[in-house]
Amino acid sequence: MSNYNYDSRSVCAECFSDEGIKNFIEGAAESNECSFCGMVSNEPIAARFKSVATHINDSLYQEYDDAANCMSYVSAEGGYLGETWPTYELLVDVIALELPRDEDDSLFNALVHRLDDNAWCQRNPYSLTYAQETEFGWKHFCHVVKHQRRYFFRDGDQRDSEILSPGELLETILNYALRIGLIVGIKRGALKVVRARPQREGEKFEAALDLGPPPLEKATQSNRMSPAGVVMFYGSDQVQTALRETAQTLGSGTYALGEFFNAREIVILDLANLPGIPSLFQEIPDSMEYNPRPVLQFLHHVSWEISQPVERDGREHIEYVPSQVVTEFVRSSSGEAGRIDGIRYPSAVPPGLASYVLFADQDNVAVPDDKRPSVRGDDRWLELVARSERQVTTEDLRLAGRNGQTCD
Ligand SMILES: [Zn+2]
């Protein structure tokens, strides 16, 4: 192995697919030529292989370790008590490191040679990984709120020290959302939310109160974010999304569309606009007080869980409970996060777009020449700005797929 003299070589960002490694190389580029793929430029494109390998090696220790440091070794059992991988297996099977230009494996071999020659294992091999903690914490939370208790979490919850208790999980959502900057103010008039409402033969919904949140006595359904009896306003940022989500369950026919805006500044928790999960190899700036990778893994997990489609076959009364509890917790927030007026979450139908639940009932709808008795300080912040009508056909529904949810 001594003839591997890779330390004087340089490697370019194109030789890797991982964004974190690419960024590291771009920040440390000093050579105009890549020793591995042969790419040449008139600007620096390649960093010293030695420093790239050191960066990869150091980053690996954030989530992996040398089994010799942390695992029990029992000769009679045939070695370490736990799963270990030699370096090449860690890179190929565990990390799935992609080297798009490495046709002759020279870069791969150089990395294996240069990285620590460990029996690699999961960091803290006898504890849960961060991803497992999140997954088990969410499952535990769902189990408790679906099948054990739903309304009080702030007692001394008997907990396994590794798994978040339901109360801690809820606190974590808001704490992480604050760190990442997902609790955002929206200036007056800057929010547009569309709600679609089916019209039967002869019905025509035109007034703000008909197109906005339903009256309390009509809130008899269990919805994604609100249990029966609690009124919230569901809508989407686009007409297509509003139609698809509503029409999916209610079927073809004529739909009235109401477009609302916020008549005062509001604050929402935006779970539909999460930054991507950074790579293990992304350098964390010194100014950053926490590692964003586990924080974003957690938030992506929660956001995905609460936007999954649920069939309305009776199970929705149970399946929607976790997202309803999260929503109620967000709604009652008052600490550092301040008061929150709604949640933006990824739409299940179609994926990639967003829906809103706003903590507004009919008392929050602005009505022209309002004669209603004043309630709760007249916080009438939801205002109808446009109204239209659409015909939805069975063909539209077929194209939109089968998943769905309703909006009131
Ligand atoms: Zn290259």
Percent of the chain with pLDDT over 70: 92
- The pLDDT value recorded for residue 404 is 41
Closest CA to 190 of 268, 272, 261, 267: 261
Give residue 22 CA to ligand 1 midpoint distance, Å. 11
Is residue 178 predicted with pLDDT exceeding 50? yes
Give residue 277 CA to ligand 1 midpoint distance, Å. 25
Give residue 95 CA to ligand 1 midpoint distance, Å. 20
Give residue 42 CA to ligand 1 midpoint distance, Å. 14
Instruction: Enter the tokens of residue 143.
Output: 């189990």
Is residue 192 predicted with pLDDT exceeding 90? yes
Average pLDDT of the segment spanning 161-172:
83
Give residue 40 CA to ligand 1 midpoint distance, Å. 9
Give residue 99 CA to ligand 1 midpoint distance, Å. 9
Is residue 298 predicted with pLDDT exceeding 60? yes
Give residue 72 CA to ligand 1 midpoint distance, Å. 40
- The pLDDT value recorded for residue 402 is 45
- The pLDDT value recorded for residue 144 is 87
DSSP bridge partners of 390: 255
Give residue 96 CA to ligand 1 midpoint distance, Å. 19
Give residue 102 CA to ligand 1 midpoint distance, Å. 8
Measured CA to CA, the distance from residue 55 to residue 210 in angstroms comes to 60
- Whole-angstrom CA distances from 296 to 59, 238, 265, 325 are 18, 26, 27, 21
Is residue 331 predicted with pLDDT exceeding 50? yes
Q: pLDDT averaged over the chain?
A: 87
Average pLDDT of the segment spanning 185-209:
92
Average pLDDT of the segment spanning 128-151:
86
- The pLDDT value recorded for residue 2 is 42
Average pLDDT of the segment spanning 171-190:
92
- The pLDDT value recorded for residue 149 is 78
Segment 352-403, tens digit of pLDDT: 789 999 999 999 999 887 777 776 667 899 999 999 998 888 777 766 654 4
Range of lowest pLDDT (103-112, 228-237, 286-295, 337-346): 286-295
Segment 143-156, tens digit of pLDDT: 888 888 777 665 45
Helices and strands (H, E) in the chain, number of each type: 13, 14
DSSP bridge partners of 235: 356
Give residue 283 CA to ligand 1 midpoint distance, Å. 20
Measured CA to CA, the distance from residue 393 to residue 173 in angstroms comes to 39
Is residue 4 predicted with pLDDT exceeding 80? no
Number of Cβ atoms within 10 Å of the Cβ of 60: 22
Give residue 100 CA to ligand 1 midpoint distance, Å. 9
Average pLDDT of the segment spanning 290-319:
86
Measured CA to CA, the distance from residue 129 to residue 63 in angstroms comes to 8
Q: Quickly state the pLDDT bin for 350 (edges 50, 70, 90).
A: low
Give residue 48 CA to ligand 1 midpoint distance, Å. 11
Segment 35-67, tens digit of pLDDT: 999 999 999 999 999 999 999 999 999 999 999
Q: Within its chain, how far is the Cα of 173 from the centroid?
A: 11
Give residue 55 CA to ligand 1 midpoint distance, Å. 17
Residue 71 φ then ψ, to 5°: -115, 150
Contacts of 35 (CB under 8 A, 6+ apart): 6, 9, 10, 11, 46, 49
CB contact at 8 A, 343 and 271: yes
Average pLDDT of the segment spanning 266-286:
91
- The pLDDT value recorded for residue 3 is 45
Q: Within its chain, how far is the Cα of 132 from the centroid?
A: 16
- The pLDDT value recorded for residue 351 is 66
Give residue 49 CA to ligand 1 midpoint distance, Å. 10
